[in-house]
Structure 1
Amino acid sequence: MNFKSSISAIFSILLLAIISVNSFAQNAGKGKINGKVIDAVTKLPVDYATISVFKQGATSPFNGISTDAKGTFVIDNIPAGDYKVAVDFLGYTRTTIEHVIVTEGIGTPALNNILLAPVQNQLTGVTITAKAPIIENRIDKMVYNAANDLTAQGGVALDVLKKVPQVSVDIDGNVELQGNANVRFLINGKPSSIFGASLADALQAIPASQIKSIEVITSPGAKYDAAGTGGIINIILKDSKVQGINGSVNLAAGTRLENGSFNLNMRKNNFGVNAFFSGNAQLATTGLNSNNRTSTDASAGTTTNLTQSGNNTQRRSGYQSGLSFNWSITPKDDLTASVGFNHFGNHGNGFSSQDEFKTTTGGATLYDLLSNRISDSRFHVNATDVSLAYKKQFKKEGQELEILYTTSYGKNTFSYFNEQDYLTGGYPTSGSRSNNPGNDRETNISIDYVHPFNKTFTLEGGAKAVIQNLKNVVNTDTLLNDGTYINNANQSYGFNYKRQIYAAYLSVSTSLFKEFLDVKAGIRNEYTNTSADFAGVTIPGYNTVVPSLTFSHKLSPTSSVKASYNYRIERPDYGDLNPFYNISDPHNISTGNPNLKPELSHGIELGYNKSFDGGANIYFGSFYRHNIDDIQQFSTRYDSLNVNGRVYPDVILNQRSNIGTQTTVGANLFGSVPIGKLNLRTNMFFASRTNTNPGISKVTGLAYRINLNATYQFPHDFTAEAFANYNSSQKGLQGTRPYFFFYNIAVRKQFMNKKASLGLQAANPFTHYVTQRGTTFGPGFNQVSIRQVPLQSFGVTLSYKFGKLEFSKDKDKGRDKEDNAMPQGDGGR
């Protein structure tokens, strides 16, 4: 029996054991607090009122809940003791009940008919200033609330991600989660085709001011797609479910980046509309680069030194817009529809001087070839996302049915041009140009059902179909000696790629040993069928069984521990498979690999979380991950490379490959400490990664990330923040990835009753360039690359919130409030 089969068998036995033990578990050992909240004037129930439970003498609650549609609430698992219960709802005066005594195993008498008195002086407009904490650590995810982040507000999504626990971002926008680059990205819990074409460009097209929060899910349960061996990152965009008309405008102007966003929310009774538009532009920035490569050809007895030095100018721009509708058909039936339009692109042009010097092993010069190369590359994507969701809640609390349909259509084009003029050797000018249009269509249909049998046992199940269709055309022209171009038939072609994934899952959530241990166990089955018209390539269908298991235990009302295991899969994406050759630099060519196999991963996590009455919080986690058929870029040196009929000399070919196995062991530490009006946060990540390849010696390297954040609240609504981030270098199979240091500062002044704010930001204010030195080596070559990337920028931001919020006491008309908890989307399925 192989490792995968053993894990599946153990998981099945464990799942049966959990269900069996649950039938004997008794709901004893701790008490509960329950009651009902009503309007003191109308005597109608107050739904969605906030119930907070405090330990006597504490200033922060340790537990809480919201009332249901009937105004009732139940808070279980309360240790015996003396508590204070506070009841709040916007437009009402707070009600506090002192000395609520909970007795072990018995509970407390029901707090029936808690009266909330309406505020006498009714306001014509209400501004909500409640603030969620920057970091929320939940049982299944970690949430970073970007709306409260000052230093990132003038930037883009990548600037926010640099501050999220367990996430690393390098200078090129490559994102890793717990040291793994294979991350599944979602927007509002739903997939989008904008991530398939170029992840880094897509993340640079989303303004930070448009992001409400970012959810990090490192151990997804059975309900989530199995894709992404590193886990899931879910970007939640801003929205509102408050009655009335309200919105916000955010503008940022700077020396390197400009962006803006506009949100408009309208809700009347049970119908709401949300519209938004956001866009950004990275102004032209020029970086410097150099590359030095030494290559040896033992069979020919020669050594080649290639030196390249030049510059590259980059521009980026993008926008997003969307419209969503929400209709609460009945208090138990909810229908949501949305459509979004996305566009982003980049344009780069560069100049490079080259010296190719070839000698014999004895030192005799064979040739010294000098040349200049100019290049130009352009990339743009247009994508449309459409979704329709229906949610049904039943009479039994927690029983829900949800049906979701999403479809995403993307149209992308990549083109390049290069021309090389030889200063010595008498060679004619050479060059090529290529245009690579394609489109991507993905449709997801899912159904999920949740059934709570009792307060400690819940069963979830569902099914999903994912249908993907990729089409691509490559047109390549070659420069002739007379200066004209002719189509190169050997490098012009088209292909179709289709993939269908059919999935079903089942999971249980339960409490064992008198609610001592909370358990969530699940199993998901995904069948993948793929077809492609790549010449000579056949992709067989395969079935993947994905188990997941999570244990959690509350050590106290303010501390908990968690342990989890999951099994994940990383299927090769469009960019990995596309056999198109990017020859914008003829000495450094990249292409896809249609023969890639999926990457498989086993992951184990342990975590501890502790909150303190003063507002401090600490989280420590450790993890182990083992990847099989790990997908990484692999570089191979060729003395001459034949690309569809044309020969290119002294080439490094970069191609994604299944390199073997990768094992990562790491730890993450997050801490937040308020000291008066000063708040200090730190996030540290350490990981040791071992790569094993049959043809290369085993390589182990240590990587770490440390960031520090300090926020100070001055009088008169004036706030200052400073942030610094350091990513260490990383040793890999074929070289080292450069280290990265980034810092920024920001100040913000709020005015007009906090409806408006003005901010100033500075990124790397004392360093114009960030120097990146990386190495690459392999059989027959050794290469050192140095880049100087301009990251210094100064900017100003302006934010304004407008609108009038209306509240109705008529239950039949509905009542909404600002939700401080983060929306769950569709669970990232």
Structure 2
Amino acid sequence: MKRFYILIALFCFALSAQAQFGVGGGGPTTTGRISGTIIDSLTKKPMDYASVGLYRSGGKSPITGVVTDEKGNFKLDNIKPGVYKLAISFIGYPTKYIDQVTTTPSKPDAKLGQVLLAPSSHALKEVSVVGQAALIENKIDKIVYNAEKDLTAAGGNATDVLQKVPLVAVDLNGNVSIRGDQNVRVLINGKPSGATSASLSDVLKTIPADQIKSIEVVTSPSAKYDAEGSAGILNIITKQKNVSGISGSISGGVGTRQNNGNANINYNHNRFSLSANAGGNATWPQTSLTSSDQNFNYSDPTKHYEQTSTGTSRVKRHGVIGSVSAGYDFNAYNNLRTSIRLNQGGFDPHSLSTTNQTYYFDHTKDQSYTSDGRGHNSFGGFDWNIDYTHKFKKEGHELDLSAQWSHSKIVTDYTNLYSAVFDSLENNINGKNNEYTIQADYTLPVSKLLKLEAGGKNIIRRIKSISDYFVPDGNGGFVFSDPNSNRYNYNQTVWAGYTVLTFSLPKGYSIMTGARLENTDIHGEPINSAQNLSPFDQNYNTFIPSLTFQKALTPTQTIKLSYSKRITRPSLQFLNPFVNRSNITAQTVGNPDLAPEISQTVELGYNTFIKSSVINLSAYYKHTSGLIEGIVENLPPNGDQNATLTTYQNIGVNNSYGASFFGSVTPFKILTIRGQINAYTYKPTAIDQFTHQQTQTNTYVQYNAFLSAQLTLPNNFIAEAFAVENSARRTIQGSNPSFSIMGFGFKKQFMQKKLALGINAIEPFNTYKNFNTDIKTPTFTQSSKFAFPFRSFGVTFSYSFGKLSFSNPQQQKKGINNDDMKQGDQGAGGSPTGGR
């Protein structure tokens, strides 16, 4: 901790010694404009989204900047009289400089007319798919999926979009994985969200697809990123834009499965920017079909027992998300930005089932009962952050200071009424999560060959969960049950510091090496009157090295070799030793002695592009120790009733070999085909304690794949089709469901592409999609089937208005990025789905 304070003190000293808060005073107050049109020198066509940066003549730090509109035009407003330099850049083109652009009080406007930009014949720093729709970009440190170019996602939500992102898979419940690993950190605009820590899968279903601009996939994060998330990082970028003047957009859709709406408005005047966004969705009630078959096989044949269930589950969802962001550039060296993001959502499940129990040793005991379960689930909160950036005179030399407060709340109320066998019950769960973060990042280009990055961070989490349990009082009502109720206080504090060095060497070589040290301190207090629970503590240090070698083989080919180490912290319910008996036949319990998972990955990647076609190949090896999985065991029979207990354990290690491919090709000018496949092995080696419970002992190959085709027709008509396939996911005791989906979309653009109308269809040939889960232990087997209504048809629209003169992308701020905590946990306390 002392070292962190020393680091902050050094940053503050550097700021006070070198910061130049002003860039000069006095002088003329008349302002003018610099404008022009960027034209491709070969095709003679205007270039949209080219970046135009403004510098003082001879200066190295940008003053401001814009990107061109769809006609190649740019305008730099509010320019004081002086002598300037313009830097014009675009992917695949060398930066063009125009120096000595002069404005005076008598002639404040400089009209440059047409500016020709020639394509590059040298190596590029990044490769992008630049066909009819730039859907996928392959950058040095990440893969970018430009969701706003995907017309089939219109009218859906974030889960629908993630299903088509390279290397990413999403199961039926909204659990996200990269290359089959669910230990993924999901960020929104580069920052964590308190809502996702409460219930990630539910929050993703509340984000309208129309609100998403792009999704970034980082598979091998450097030491600069938090160590948590063995699979990598997903960053969802929403459509918040800094523009000159006022602009905005509205979009939405109506369908047979869900309805969506989204609106953006943006304002920029001088050095002040303001943007606001609001969106939401609501599903129609959807009824799924459920069935399960459980067999309890004890060594004593008089205990053999089978239970089969069939039923329905009906649910409807709603969600609203909004945000407001404001920023002010004091000058070319100092910027302050703040934003607040609000979210609110919920769903109301209603399940009906009939269960038959068969006793092989005595059929006179056979019986059946019905279950009626009703629930109300809500979640919401906010994320507020403030970011300050100071740029020094040397280009690329900067200091970033950030702070964030995330608050989330989740409420789960449900009632299960049984006709026989079990007592009916009520359960009310209230969880609150407050997360406070401070962060400092420093970047120094030491020379053309070396760049230094360093920083420090502190994350404080304070979580409280209350689970009140009620049982029948004998008079038709319910009474509070103290032995079954639970209070849980969970505190986690993480301190971290990192250093990263990047070497740009001759002949196309580059090296990035870094180290990160994290200290994790945990204190948990489970409280229950009947269970003998004690407070628990954990404190551990984690050293995280990273190393990447990259070589540009040719101007269009790059090869990269990387090593990364990641951890997955067990949190909240994974550690809670309280035995949850809300589902009496399938009980769960956490383990306060759980250690974090440690994964180490070595990856070799190759990418190339030929004109508008892109190919990316990679092979990797991942070693995971302390693998965390739920272990299912039979509980001793309670009379004639049988039950299972699932406990989270560090079950052993897993060595995985994998390979991935994705590419895009344009065989004809009007047709673009994109596809990706990722395959990897799963072969866990359980420690001696769990070998007798391991039933899956083979080497299993798991995969996920995606294929799409887009056809651009005359008169601004666009058609697209896609298909997704994910194999079943294995554990040492069974498998989770496989997943597949296909869809079609059609769109017509009007008013110079400002207005678009479309239709789409998801799974038009199948009313239901079936999802099967299997569990097998030496004494227990369970097979469950879930049929979800996936078929849907919808109509979508979008309309943009106002100026679209965007701010220089270089002005984007780093902000806070909390990449930690294991996915699948409900951070605010309690599962969002209660009962059986």
The two structures share one fold, judged by TM-score above 0.5: yes
Question: Which whole-Å deviations, capped at 9, do the CAs of 1:85-122 have from their partners, x for residues lacking one?
Answer: xx976259xx999xxxx9xxxx99998669995459xx
User: 2:743 is matched with which residue?
Assistant: 744
User: 1:386 is matched with which residue?
Assistant: 384
User: 2:74 is matched with which residue?
Assistant: 90
Instruction: Give 1:822 shift.
Output: 11
Distance 2:380 2:303 in 1: 48
Shift of the 373–478 alpha-carbon distance from structure 1 to 2, 3 Å rule, reads same
Shift of the 320–636 alpha-carbon distance from structure 1 to 2, 3 Å rule, reads same
Matched, 1:677 2:670: yes
Matched, 1:599 2:589: no
AA of the residue aligned to 1:677:
I
**1:622 aligned residue (619, 622, 628):** 619
**1:692 aligned residue (685, 695, 708):** 685
AA of the residue aligned to 1:684:
I
Instruction: Give 1:659 shift.
Output: 2.0
Distance 1:57 1:724 in 2: 35
User: 2:416 is matched with which residue?
Assistant: 418
Shift of the 648–751 alpha-carbon distance from structure 1 to 2, 3 Å rule, reads farther
Instruction: Give 1:663 shift.
Output: 2.1
After alignment, is 729-738 or 432-441 more displaced?
729-738
Question: Which whole-Å deviations, capped at 9, do the CAs of 1:607-665 have from their partners, x for residues lacking one?
Answer: 1111112x111111122111111122332222437xxxxx9931133343322112221
After alignment, is 542-551 or 657-666 more displaced?
657-666
Correspondence 1:48-87 to 2 at 5 A: 67=53, 69-70=55-56
Question: Which whole-Å deviations, capped at 9, do the CAs of 1:137-172 have from their partners, x for residues lacking one?
Answer: 111111111110111111000111111111011122
Distance 1:47 1:640 in 2: 81
Distance 1:288 1:245 in 2: 49
Contact 1:45 1:71 in 2 (8 A): no
Q: Secondary structure at the match of 1:90?
A: strand
Contact 2:565 2:601 in 1 (8 A): yes
Instruction: Give 1:737 shift.
Output: 2.3
AA of the residue aligned to 1:600:
I
Distance 2:757 2:567 in 1: 45
Shift of the 767–739 alpha-carbon distance from structure 1 to 2, 3 Å rule, reads same
User: 1:143 is matched with which residue?
Assistant: 144
User: 2:762 is matched with which residue?
Assistant: 763
Contact 2:172 2:739 in 1 (8 A): yes
User: 1:586 is matched with which residue?
Assistant: 584
Distance 2:580 2:304 in 1: 26
Distance 2:87 2:573 in 1: 58
Distance 2:491 2:661 in 1: 42
Matched, 1:524 2:524: no
User: 2:405 is matched with which residue?
Assistant: 407
User: 1:828 is matched with which residue?
Assistant: 817
Distance 1:523 1:436 in 2: 41
Instruction: Give 1:484 shift.
Output: 2.3
Instruction: Give 1:322 shift.
Output: 1.1
Instruction: Give 1:300 shift.
Output: 6.0
Distance 2:46 2:453 in 1: 33
User: 1:817 is matched with which residue?
Assistant: 806
Distance 2:645 2:349 in 1: 21
Question: Which whole-Å deviations, capped at 9, do the CAs of 1:537-578 have from their partners, x for residues lacking one?
Answer: 422211111101111111111111111111111111334334
Shift of the 504–686 alpha-carbon distance from structure 1 to 2, 3 Å rule, reads same
Instruction: Give 1:132 shift.
Output: 7.2
Matched, 1:501 2:494: yes
User: 2:127 is matched with which residue?
Assistant: none
After alignment, is 444-453 or 647-656 more displaced?
647-656
AA of the residue aligned to 2:252:
L
Correspondence 1:89-128 to 2 at 5 A: 90=74, 117-119=111-113
Shift of the 669–625 alpha-carbon distance from structure 1 to 2, 3 Å rule, reads same
Instruction: Give 1:57 shift.
Output: 10
AA of the residue aligned to 1:135:
I
User: 1:282 is matched with which residue?
Assistant: 283
Q: Secondary structure at the match of 1:201?
A: helix
User: 2:266 is matched with which residue?
Assistant: 265
Give the share of equivalent positions with the same residue, in percent: 34
**1:448 aligned residue (431, 435, 441):** 441
User: 2:719 is matched with which residue?
Assistant: 720
Distance 1:552 1:285 in 2: 49
User: 2:27 is matched with which residue?
Assistant: none
Correspondence 1:219-298 to 2 at 5 A: 219-298=220-299
Please, what is the CA RMSD of the aligned residues?
3.3
Shift of the 176–821 alpha-carbon distance from structure 1 to 2, 3 Å rule, reads farther
Shift of the 396–225 alpha-carbon distance from structure 1 to 2, 3 Å rule, reads same
Shift of the 108–501 alpha-carbon distance from structure 1 to 2, 3 Å rule, reads closer
**2:635 aligned residue (638, 644, 654):** 638
Correspondence 1:468-617 to 2 at 5 A: 468-512=461-505, 514-534=506-526, 535-578=533-576, 583=581, 585-613=583-611, 615-617=612-614
Instruction: Give 1:72 shift.
Output: 7.4
Q: Secondary structure at the match of 2:514?
A: strand
For structure 1, the residue ranges without an aligned partner over 5 or more in a row are: 1-41, 75-86, 121-128, 642-646, 806-815
User: 2:105 is matched with which residue?
Assistant: none
Shift of the 558–657 alpha-carbon distance from structure 1 to 2, 3 Å rule, reads same
After alignment, is 262-271 or 618-627 more displaced?
618-627
Distance 1:266 1:648 in 2: 68
Q: Which runs of 4+ in 1 moved over 6 A?
A: 42-52, 56-61, 71-74, 107-111, 129-132
Q: Secondary structure at the match of 2:641?
A: strand
Correspondence 1:178-257 to 2 at 5 A: 178-257=179-258
Contact 1:213 1:822 in 2 (8 A): no
Contact 1:699 1:732 in 2 (8 A): no
Shift of the 824–330 alpha-carbon distance from structure 1 to 2, 3 Å rule, reads closer
AA of the residue aligned to 1:717:
N
Contact 2:671 2:710 in 1 (8 A): yes
AA of the residue aligned to 1:69:
Y
User: 2:649 is matched with which residue?
Assistant: 657
Shift of the 635–717 alpha-carbon distance from structure 1 to 2, 3 Å rule, reads same
Question: Which whole-Å deviations, capped at 9, do the CAs of 1:346-392 have from their partners, x for residues lacking one?
Answer: 221111111111123xxx43610211111123321121110000011
Q: Secondary structure at the match of 1:209?
A: helix
For structure 2, the residue ranges without an aligned partner over 5 or more in a row are: 1-29, 61-70, 77-85, 103-109, 115-129, 527-532, 819-836
TM-score, structure 2 as length reference: 0.82
User: 1:345 is matched with which residue?
Assistant: 346
Distance 1:72 1:771 in 2: 65
Q: Secondary structure at the match of 2:210?
A: helix
Q: Secondary structure at the match of 1:529?
A: strand
User: 1:812 is matched with which residue?
Assistant: none
Shift of the 474–781 alpha-carbon distance from structure 1 to 2, 3 Å rule, reads same
Shift of the 420–309 alpha-carbon distance from structure 1 to 2, 3 Å rule, reads same
Shift of the 732–96 alpha-carbon distance from structure 1 to 2, 3 Å rule, reads closer
Instruction: Give 1:729 shift.
Output: 2.2
Distance 1:488 1:150 in 2: 52
Distance 1:286 1:109 in 2: 59
Contact 2:448 2:504 in 1 (8 A): no
Question: Which whole-Å deviations, capped at 9, do the CAs of 1:395-439 have from their partners, x for residues lacking one?
Answer: 1011011001011011111222112113xxxx6x62111111010
Relative contact order higher in (CA < 8 Å, ≥ 6 apart): 2
Contact 2:749 2:756 in 1 (8 A): yes
Contact 2:180 2:703 in 1 (8 A): no
Contact 2:50 2:72 in 1 (8 A): no
AA of the residue aligned to 1:826:
G
Q: Number of aligned residue pairs: give it.
A: 730
Correspondence 1:301-340 to 2 at 5 A: 301-340=302-341
Instruction: Give 1:49 shift.
Output: 9.8
Contact 1:565 1:605 in 2 (8 A): yes
Shift of the 96–237 alpha-carbon distance from structure 1 to 2, 3 Å rule, reads closer
AA of the residue aligned to 2:665:
V
Distance 1:639 1:367 in 2: 18
User: 1:134 is matched with which residue?
Assistant: 135
Instruction: Give 1:233 shift.
Output: 0.6
After alignment, is 681-690 or 377-386 more displaced?
377-386
Contact 1:359 1:367 in 2 (8 A): no
TM-score, structure 1 as length reference: 0.82
